[in-house]
Chains A and B, each alone.
Chain A
Amino acid sequence: MSLCELTAHVLHEKLKAREITAVELTESVYARIVEVEPHVKGYLTLTKELALEQANRADTGFQNGDDMPALAGIPIAIKDVICTQGVRTTCASKILETFVPPYDATVMTKLHEQGIVMLGKTNMDEFAMGSSTENSAYQITHNPWDLDAIPGGSSGGSAAVVSADTAICSLGSDTGGSIRQPAALCGVVGMKPTYGRVSRYGLVAFASSLDQIGPFTKDVTDCALILNAICGSDAMDATSVDVHVPDFTQSLINDVKGLKIGIPKEYFTEALDAEIADRVHTAIAVLESVGATVEEISLPHTEYAIATYYIIAPAEASANLARYDGVRYGYRNESPEDLIDMYKRTRSEAFGEEVKRRIMIGTFALSAGYQDAYYRKAQKARTLIKSDFDAAFEKVDVIATPTSPTPAFKIGERTADPLQMYLSDVMTTPASHAGLPGISVPCGFVESGLPVGLQLLGAPFAEEKVLRVAYTFEQNTDHHRQKPPIVTDGGVS
């Protein structure tokens, strides 16, 4: 087995025992990148030279016998929506094609304190708007399990590279499911922490009341390690919450006895793919067999989550994306008639269609005469959705659902119909409205061979319970150990 196929916690032991060096490990990942990246296309930017420097530095620490952090020397990929000092950050948009951030996002500062090796920046839907990564202005990312299928989105690149072993772990961002859904579709672990758990400083803003950074990993243990590194309040983000950050590895307990798991009936409708329903029910039965109590619950406002989301997120986006005006950074139209014309031409030429569509929906929803009927109404619906969860967590510890109603769909299948694409997020947006922590863990495969994800949700700041259930599930199954054909066949025929 190549080093690039291993988990961060296994690699850490090998690095510590000096069985391997971080440079060897980094070379192993780049060798896999050379092999499969032309087919997967998960990266927008590779930073090999920088990565080898960072690996060398980690090796010096290990050689000196220093007490090295858990992620020292671990090769990690970063979604191209997170600002990386000196390394181009495009948000997969033409409007930021040349943008080189003068500062690091707080999560990057924290990862660098750990001594990580940054591999590069991953592809995504432009400004994180999408569910398939097809809205990138640069390239289509392919699902390592089926190269004709999408990897999910918007963090499709970050999910695909972990699945294809072209990264050990990665960071993504989740606004309405953009970590959990691609994790499910690519057969990896992906977690959105509680809103406020992780600083958003340096995360290019899409919908500020929903956006949250989180990890993609090959198992739940690595997920806990990344959470340990990135969580915590930050003076640079007033929405980060100053609560105690536990050592999340303490939640890696293979025991769910005494825990109550709620199964919301609204998630199991005829819209749910029958094979996915079957795999998720099997997964729930596994948890029950090892001691969890399972109880059906109701989250009655679930069906309103998508409509609510497609008002709130575009409204916030329309305000956040007003900053792209061709003045301070990014693309500018070269031959405008005047200032206003420069704004219009710049934005119209450099934003992609989905971004324009959302700016239009959001601007409309906030415009005079419509604000109460749309934006205000959606904020009230958000309260109802959140209240459903508040009531449910009075009774249960964790909620289990499918992560996505379908397995990965084919490239091009849903691009013609935006509404159809929006409905891809039906299982993930409700928890986003309530700011809940949620994880997707691999829970099997449909007959065609595509992976299925189990979503586990917790009350705000109850990541520990979510991790404990996820870890127990993982310890009693082997879905997370399966590798996609692109890895097992050693490339593409």
Chain B
Amino acid sequence: MATITVEGIRHVANLARLEFNEEETEHFTEQLARILDYIGKLNELETDDVPPTSHIHPHQVFIMGSEAEASHVAKPDVVKPSYPREKVLANAPEAEEGYFGVPRVVDRSH
């Protein structure tokens, strides 16, 4: 496993849409390096033939020691009413004419 550099931290921060000043960048670099070093412990494990677990109930669940079987999670595709627009917009920092407002992303001069 790799160690993390100041450059790496800047790259990851950009991916995460976070920004740090110089001091914070160094602080996070040092801390993440330590945490990743601890996580490197996982390299002790031989996992080539081990399947990954992303979820403990994959699609169907068989319950230990019983005949019970959980049902599939798919549900009928039925159109249902959504929340009213004004309720959805009520928490928005900026809303206009029924839409969320954001800083301009399109240059009007073109």
Contacts and interface: CB of A to CB of B under 8 A. Distances in A.
A196 interface: yes
A485 interface: no
A455 interface: no
A151 interface: no
Contact of A363 (B1, B15, B71, B100): B15
| Highest count of chain A CB atoms <10 Å: which of B31, B35, B38, B70 | B35
Contacts of B50: 380, 383-384
A89 B49 CA distance: 44
A374 B1 contact: yes
Contacts of B56: 195-196, 209, 386, 434-435, 460
B33 to A, nearest CB: 11
Interface stretch (A116-124, A167-175, A234-242, A405-413): A234-242
A340 B70 contact: no
B83 A310 contact: no
B90 interface: yes
B15 A367 contact: yes
Contact of A338 (B9, B41, B105): B105
Interface string A154-171: 000000000000000000
A318 interface: yes
B35 A419 contact: yes
Interface in B1-44: 1-2, 4, 8-9, 11-13, 15-20, 28, 31-32, 34-36, 38-44
Nearest to B29: A360
A6 interface: no
A211 to B, nearest CB: 12
A243 B68 contact: yes
Q: Taking chain A's interface residues, is the majority helix, strand, or loop, or is none over half, making it mixed?
A: helix
A345 B14 CA distance: 12
A340 B93 contact: no
A90 to B, nearest CB: 12
Q: B44, B70, B103: which has the most chain A beta carbons within 10 Å?
A: B103
B16 A359 contact: yes
A379 B18 contact: no
A296 B19 CA distance: 50
B53 interface: yes
Contact of B47 (A235, A325, A361, A384): A384
Contacts of B54: 209, 379
Interface residue tally on A, bucketed by range: 35 or more
Interface in B46-67: 47, 50-57, 61, 63-65
B36 to A, nearest CB: 8
A46 interface: no
A20 interface: no
A384 to B, nearest CB: 6
Contacts of A102: 83, 87-88, 90-91
A25 interface: no
B83 A304 contact: no
B64 A376 contact: no
Contacts of B8: 364
B47 A377 contact: yes
A289 interface: no
A23 B40 CA distance: 56
A445 interface: no
Contacts of A348: 18-20
B73 interface: yes
B52 A338 contact: no
Interface string A321-347: 010011111111000101111111101
Nearest to B95: A328
Nearest to A98: B91
Interface string B73-110: 10100000001000110111110000010111100000
Given A241-B61, A322-B17, A380-B45, 19 more contacts: A102-B90, A103-B83, A196-B57, A307-B40, A307-B41, A307-B42, A310-B39, A328-B100, A338-B104, A348-B18, A348-B19, A357-B32, A360-B12, A360-B16, A360-B28, A361-B32, A367-B11, A380-B51, A434-B56
13 contacts: A99-B91, A243-B63, A304-B42, A311-B42, A328-B91, A332-B93, A338-B103, A340-B17, A343-B17, A351-B18, A359-B16, A360-B12, A434-B56
